[in-house]
Structure 1
């Protein structure tokens, strides 16, 4: 018999025509135990996320976060604080077992154990149930983590007067006054006053703003040599001509600001 002729194909009813082990069973075979990821489960997740997002946006509009001024490296009395979502780690570093020679415990070991445990929670508790009482290990670990974060955040936040902190460190308005650096009085100001009053005369670490001052030219000259308030005397170390140039420079800046 020649090849390809006289061949017959026999089918066996015990073998399915199409088999694909990767296709899951229909959801109707698990009534009440599961649901389709798309669109049922994902739609619920989107709705819940939208509710929280809208609530969070309303909260930020009703109570804007207090902004602070630009960082001043010369202010040794300023205590920097992290954002609210890192306050619990900041508070953890205040305890003896996580500070000083044990800082590595507070910044690496303890947070690593905590987040590692949460990562391993689904693998440690493989129960088929979805109710909390059927997932004791995962639920207990999550409750302990949540309670720890809330307590540490509250402890750190309650020790700070946020309104006073915002008032003391509120940002200064941007100066629209152009400083003429070619003015001979600017060089005198740079050598005698800039360290306290800032390069744009808007104030610095220990000196107030010179823009918008109500002092006259004579008063400015007297303050420069004799001081005023917390400003000590003998801060100016130039000649009479340089003092006159300094006064004229400050007066010209204030005239431009008006």
Structure 2
């Protein structure tokens, strides 16, 4: 400890005397390493955010999000599709070991292992090296995760029936009257699970565009066709006739009507 000059005695303690008050250090002391938060750093953040926002708006205008018909919870034939960043999970649910009786594996176990590995990453690899080649555990986890997500996303896109996907959500305007007693009591109970809530098609064909005669509809309902079961033993002749006339009178209309 220095004695004499530069020391000030305060009681029994000796502290070094400062010629200047303790102020924040000037940024000029660290040229090229620091910058003021306002306006320098904040301006750069604003400019960067503006560039991405403008780019996103341009993409939205050039390729707007698809608009499908109103969601119908009674349409059990509709096949929902998640956004692109969840397609890898959607694809995993298609594999035999992660679907059906093993659905809990694809829906809970596999995603849970992924999230658990992410949470445990700091403890699985506490190496202080910053070069990826010197951090084998972290690098291997990252590469394996990327490979799995990339492959399953690509497979989901490549083998998905996009034509059916687009058709099932297509907006079709028709003269369908959902308040009609025939629709409420017969159509909604027996037809919408396959043909959709607006009868515009799901796992079954589009009945609005079919332009069928009452006799043809009656034959289909009574005897079935292909995957369509016969309803002759479930419905009375009068109920089948009402359904046939209702479906035969369906027709497409323009948006302005």
Q: What TM-score results when the alignment is normalised by the length of structure 2?
A: 0.60
CA distance in 2, matches of 1:28, 1:178: 75
Asked which structure has the greater RCO (Cα within 8 Å, sep 6+), the reply is 2
Rounded Cα–Cα distance in structure 1 between residues aligned with 2:144 and 2:228: 48
Determine which of 227, 230, 247 is the counterpart of 1:230: 227
CA distance in 1 between counterparts of 2:150 and 2:207 reads 41
Question: In the aligned structure 2, how far is the partner of 1:227 from the partner of 1:62?
Answer: 45
The residue number in structure 2 matching 1:220 is 217
Shift of 1:202: 2.9
Q: Which one of 91, 94, 116 corresponds to residue 109 of structure 1?
A: 116
**8 Å contact from structure 1 (residues 67, 166) kept in 2:** no
SS at match of 1:52: helix
Which residue of structure 1 aligns with residue 153 of structure 2? 157
Change in Cα spacing, 1:166 to 1:232, as seen in structure 2 (3 Å) is: same
User: Which 5+ residue runs of structure 2 have no aligned equivalent?
Assistant: 1-15, 98-104
Say whether 1:45 aligns with 2:45: yes
80-89 vs 168-177, greater mean Cα deviation? 80-89
* Deviation of the 1:25 alpha carbon: 0.8
1:177 touches 1:256 (CA, 8 Å); kept in 2?
yes
Cα distance change on mapping 1:39 and 1:149 into 2, 3 Å:
farther
- Are 2:74 and 2:192, in contact at CA under 8 Å, matched by a contact in 1? no
Q: Distance in 2 between matches of 1:227 and 1:88?
A: 38
Q: Structure 1 residues 211-220 or 51-60, which shifts more?
A: 51-60
Deviations 1:79-136 (A, max 9, x none): x775444567788999x9xx6896486144201123x57xx99xx58xxxxxxxxx54
Mapped to 1, the partners of 2:183 and 2:91 lie a distance apart of 49
Match of 2:36 in 1: 36
Moved more, 80-89 or 38-47: 80-89
Alignment of 1:11-26 (within 5 A): 19-20=21-22, 23-26=23-26
**CA displacement 1:205-252 (0-9 Å, x = unmatched):** x32232232112222222222333432444563333333322222234
Equivalent residue pairs, number: 224
